[in-house]
Amino acid sequence: MEFILVDPQARPHVALIQLNRPKELNALNLQLMGELRDTLKQLDDDEQVRAIIIAGNERAFAAGADIKQMAGKTAIDMLNVDQFSTWDQIRKTKKPIIAAVSGFALGGGCELAMTCDMIVASETATFGQPEIKIGVMPGAGGTQRLTRAIGKAKAMEMVLTGKFMSAAEAEKHGLINRVVPVELYLEEAFRLAADVAQMSPVAARLAKEAVNRSFETQLDEGLHFERKNFYLCFASDDQKEGMAAFVEKRKPDFKGR
Ligand code: CAA
């Protein structure tokens, strides 16, 4: 792969993916997104992996979709390329994904971070949907996910003016999980991933699915979905192990079965 670095066991049960187009501020061209999709699929299928981190570098998580690649396209070109089907596949990743964001997370970069399940940011992280400044609008979920995360007023301001949001503001408005000094952001993402990786992978998968379902359904249907996943946990060895360990006052040893 040309634009992605992968370490499937960067830490026990934790994989690290690094976006690696530094000169272009990790602009998300079609090849990079294809590589990311394929990598996530491989890691999803790898039993050793229980949590995944996606990071950029200190200067940029990603400065958006590749403007140079899109500049000359017609609507029909865009329709035929269908770049967002790649994003749909990424969204289907079953394992928990943490975005470790430093520097620019703009346009598709902000949308990619929001596609992840949690976001750890450095103090230098800057979030934005500046597509309006180049005559378009967000196309990879920005209008939907940003609005759900920070509410209509703030989302509308960002989408209509292209103004950036600092990491501190993003934390205040619930877009991200936490902000730490730049030298610690990757370590903090690893810490969070390690916490997740200690849990039952079966329960984590079912729980992620249920939280995500809350964005798609009415409360009644969501509660029904949650209950079914809760019952399904009782089909796992991990449920037996987790509850036995509690009773026996020891740490559980989850196997993902
Ligand atoms: N696409 C292609 N190339 C990009 C890029 C992008 N989104 N963002 C940065 N680059 C390139 C620049 O063209 C430049 O390349 P050259 O050296 O060859 O000229 C290099 O990365 C470094 O960028 P700058 O010189 O511009 O760096 P800066 O520090 O002066 O500015 C920045 C940084 C504010 C992030 C600025 O680069 C910028 O505004 N980038 C575009 C941000 C943007 O509009 N993103 C939305 C894209 S559309 C989208 O994402 C649609 C969608 O919803 C999927």
> CA 139 to CA 136: how far, in whole Å?
9
Report pTM.
Answer: 0.97
Q: For residues 15 and 40, is the Cβ–Cβ distance under 8 A?
A: no
Banded model confidence at residue 226, pLDDT cuts 50, 70, 90: very high
Q: What does the pLDDT look like over 161-181, one tens digit per residue? A: 999 999 999 999 999 999 999
Tell me, what DSSP letter sits at residue 83? T
Mean pLDDT of all residues belonging to the chain:
97
| pLDDT tens digit sequence for 149-162 | 999 999 999 999 99
Tell me the Cα Rg of the chain: 19
Exactly one of 10, 55, 65, 189 is catalytic; name it: 65
Cα 202 to averaged position of ligand 1 atoms, centre (Å): 39
Q: What is the pLDDT of residues 26-44, one digit of tens each?
A: 999 999 999 999 999 999 9
**CA–CA gap between residue 149 and residue 136 (Å, rounded):** 22
70 in ligand 1 pocket by Cβ < 6 Å? no
Q: Say if CB 36 and CB 17 are below 8 A apart.
A: yes
The DSSP code sequence of 200-252 is -HHHHHHHHHHHHHTTTS-HHHHHHHHHHHHHHHTTSHHHHHHHHHHHTTS--
Tell me the domains of the chain and their CATH numbers.
4-197 (3.90.226.10), 201-247 (1.10.12.10)
> Is 187 designated active site?
no
- 108 is annotated as an active-site residue: yes
CA dihedral 147, 129, 2, 10 (to 10 degrees): -50
